[in-house]
Structure 1
Amino acid sequence: MHITLRQLEVFSEIVKSGSTTRAAQQLALSQSAVSAALADLEHQLAVKLFDRSGKRLIVNEHGRLLYPKAVSLLEQAKETEQLFREDHGAIRIAASSTIGNYLLPAMMAEYRRDFPQAPLDLTVGNSQDVIQAVSDFRVDVGLIEGPCHITGIVSENWLQDELVVFAAPQSAIFREAVTLEKLADSPWILRERGSGTREIVDYLLLSHLPRFRIAMELGNSEAIKHAVRYGMGISCLSRRVIADQLENGSLRQVPLPLPPLTRTLYRIHHQQKHLSRTLIRFLSYCHEQDIA
C-alpha cells in the first residue's frame, strides 16, 4: 500500500467541500488531478469513500471512518514540517577540554540569548574522543586543539590560540634568566597523551629542549593549574585557560627564549555529514570576538 499525503489531503478537502471542483480550487489543482488522486486512494483501499449523487460526492461509512485518521496524519505532517522550518533540531557538539570548558560557554550563552528554545548538546573529552565521536556520527561537529588526518573527516582551520608556559610566582625558575637548559631541568606537569594540548606542547616546546622531565601527567587543565600553583612544577596551557590566574597573580608567565607558541584550533565534521541550517547558524556564533 502506498497511500500518499496528497491523496489524503485531496480526500479531506472533498469531504469538507462536497465536490471535486471546489476541492480543486482550494488546493490549486486541476479537477482531473483531484479526481485521479481520489480514484487512486479508493483503488488502494479497495472501497468507495463517497456516494455519488449527480455531481455531488457524499461521504459514506468508509469515508467517515477514514476522515479523522486522515486529518490526524495531515496535522502530524504539518507539525513535522514546522518543526524543521523553525530550526528546533538539537545540535550535538563534541569539544576537546580547553575549548569545551573555556571557549564554548560564552559562545553558547550568546547563541541561547538569541535562540532561547534551541537545544544544544555538548560533550567534552580529549581530542581523540572528539574525533571518534565525529567518525561514529554521534555528534554533528567537533572542535579540537590539533589537526586531524583521519580519512573521511573534514578538518577546517577555526581559531588561533596562544600557549603560555607558567609557574607559581615563588618558583625558582624566575630567579635568573630562563634558558632552554633551565626549562629542560624543570619538573613538567602536562596533559595526558591523546590531548590536543599535549600534542602541540610536545611539538612546539618540548621538541626544542635538550631533554625534559615529566613530573606528572594530569587529565584536565584545572588539576594542572592547582598543581602548578602549589609549586609542584611548571606547565604550558592555553592563555585562555589561565587568564584569570595571570591577572590576579596566583600564576606567573615564564618568559621563553623561543618564538611565541601559537596553534590553530580546528573544526571537524564527517565528510558525509549534512550541515543543517541550524548547525550553520550556531557555528556563525563561534568566532574570535565572542571569547576575546
Structure 2
Amino acid sequence: MHITLRQLEVFSEVLKNGSTTQASQVLALSQSAVSAALADLEGQLGVQVFDRAGKRLVINEHGRLLYPRVVALLEQAQEIEQLFREDNGAIRLSASSTIGNYLLPGMIARYRRDFPSLPLELNVGNSQDVIAAVADFRVDIGLIEGPCHRPELVSEPWQEDELVVFAAPGADIFSRPISLQSLAAAPWILREQGSGTREIVDYLLLSHLPRFTLAMELGNSEAIKNAVRHGMGISCLSRRAIAEQLELGTLVEVAIPLPALKRTLYRIHHRQKHISNALRRFLSYCTEETD
C-alpha cells in the first residue's frame, strides 16, 4: 500500500467542500488531478469513501471511519513541517572536560534562556572520546582542547585558553626560587593520556624540564585540584578550571620561568555532517560574551 499525504489531503478537502471542483480550487490542482487522487485512494483501500449522487459526493460509512485518522495524520505532517521550518532540531554535542565543565555551562544557560524547550544533549569526556564520537556521527559537533588531524574531520580554531601551574599555599615548591630544576623535582599530578590538557602540558611545559616526577594521573580536573589542595603535588590546568580557587586562595599560581602557556581550543565536525540552521544558531551562543 502506498497511500500518500496528497491523497489524504484531497480526501479531506473533498469531504469539507462536497465536490472535486471546490476541492481543486482550495488545493490549486486541476479537477482531473483531484478526481484521480481520490480514485487512487479508493483503489488502494479497496472501498469507496464517498457515495456518488449525481455530481455530488456524499461521505459514507467508510469515509466516516477514515476521516478522523486522516485529520490526525495531516496535523502530524503539519507539525513536522513546522518543526523544521523553525529549525527546532535536537542538538547533540560532545566536549572535552575543561570545556564541558567550565566553559559551556554559561553558554548553554544563555541559549536555554532564549530556547528553554529545545532538546540539547551534552556528553563530556576527554579529547579522544570527543573525536571518536564525532567520527562515528554519534554527536553533531565536538569541542576539544587541541588540534585534531583525522582527515575525515574538519577542525576549526574556536577560542584561546591559558594553562597555569599551581600548588597548595605553603607547598615545598615555594621554599626556593622557581626554576626548571625545582619544577622537575616536584611531584606532578596530571591528567590522563588522551586528555587534550595533558597533550598540551607535555608539549608546552614538561618538554622543557630535564626530567619530571609523575606522582599521579587522574581523569578529571576536580580530582586534580583536590589532590593538589591537600599537598600531594603540583599540577597544570586551564586558568578557567582553577579561577575560583585562585581567587579564594585555596590554590596558588606558580610563576614559571617559561612563556605563557597558551593554547587554542577547537571545534570539530565530520566533513559529511550537514550544519543545520539550528546548529548554527546554537553555536552563535558558544562565545564568552556575557549579558
Superimposed CA distance per residue, residues 60-118 of structure 1 (whole angstroms, 9 cap, x where no aligned partner): 33333322222222122122223333444332211111111111110111111111112
- Quick check: 1:23 aligned with 2:23? yes
Q: Contact 2:186/2:234 (CA < 8 Å) preserved in 1?
A: yes
Q: Contact 2:107/2:288 (CA < 8 Å) preserved in 1?
A: no
TM-score (norm 1): 0.93
Q: Contact 1:191/1:198 (CA < 8 Å) preserved in 2?
A: yes
Task: Report matched runs for 1:181-220 at 5 Å.
Answer: 181-220=181-220
- Quick check: 1:107 aligned with 2:112? no
The amino acid of 1:45's aligned partner reads L
Structure 2 Cα separation of the partners of residues 267 and 250 of structure 1: 32
In the alignment, what sits opposite 2:142?
142
TM-score (norm 2): 0.93
Superimposed CA distance per residue, residues 92-145 of structure 1 (whole angstroms, 9 cap, x where no aligned partner): 211111111111110111111111112222111111111122222222211111
Q: Secondary structure at the match of 2:289?
A: helix
Q: Secondary structure at the match of 2:24?
A: helix
Structure 1 Cα separation of the partners of residues 34 and 282 of structure 2: 43
5+ residue gaps, structure 1, are none
The amino acid of 2:105's aligned partner reads P
- Report how many aligned residue pairs link the two structures: 291
In the alignment, what sits opposite 1:60?
60
In the alignment, what sits opposite 1:96?
96
Shift of 1:21: 1.1
In the alignment, what sits opposite 1:75?
75
The amino acid of 2:131's aligned partner reads I
- Quick check: 1:151 aligned with 2:151? yes
Q: Contact 2:187/2:234 (CA < 8 Å) preserved in 1?
A: yes
Q: Contact 1:190/1:216 (CA < 8 Å) preserved in 2?
A: yes
Shift of 1:250: 1.5
Q: Secondary structure at the match of 2:273?
A: coil
Q: Secondary structure at the match of 1:258?
A: coil
- Quick check: 1:284 aligned with 2:277? no
In the alignment, what sits opposite 2:271?
271
In the alignment, what sits opposite 1:259?
259
Q: Contact 2:96/2:125 (CA < 8 Å) preserved in 1?
A: yes
In the alignment, what sits opposite 1:4?
4
The amino acid of 2:154's aligned partner reads V
Shift of 1:290: 4.3
Superimposed CA distance per residue, residues 191-242 of structure 1 (whole angstroms, 9 cap, x where no aligned partner): 1111110011001111111111111111111111111122221111000001
Between stretches 176-185 and 83-92, larger displacement belongs to 83-92
The amino acid of 1:124's aligned partner reads V
Structure 1 Cα separation of the partners of residues 115 and 219 of structure 2: 34
Structure 2 Cα separation of the partners of residues 68 and 252 of structure 1: 70
- Quick check: 1:178 aligned with 2:161? no
Structure 2 Cα separation of the partners of residues 12 and 163 of structure 1: 65
Structure 1 Cα separation of the partners of residues 86 and 117 of structure 2: 10
Structure 2 Cα separation of the partners of residues 290 and 165 of structure 1: 27
The amino acid of 1:69's aligned partner reads R
Q: Contact 1:24/1:31 (CA < 8 Å) preserved in 2?
A: yes
Q: Secondary structure at the match of 1:116?
A: coil
Q: Which runs of 4+ in 1 moved over 4 A?
A: none
Structure 2 Cα separation of the partners of residues 178 and 280 of structure 1: 46
Residue identity over aligned pairs, in percent, reads 75
Structure 2 Cα separation of the partners of residues 171 and 141 of structure 1: 41
Shift of 1:48: 3.1
In the alignment, what sits opposite 1:226?
226
Shift of 1:12: 0.9
Q: Contact 1:88/1:117 (CA < 8 Å) preserved in 2?
A: no
Please tell me the root mean square deviation across aligned C-alpha atoms, in Å: 1.8
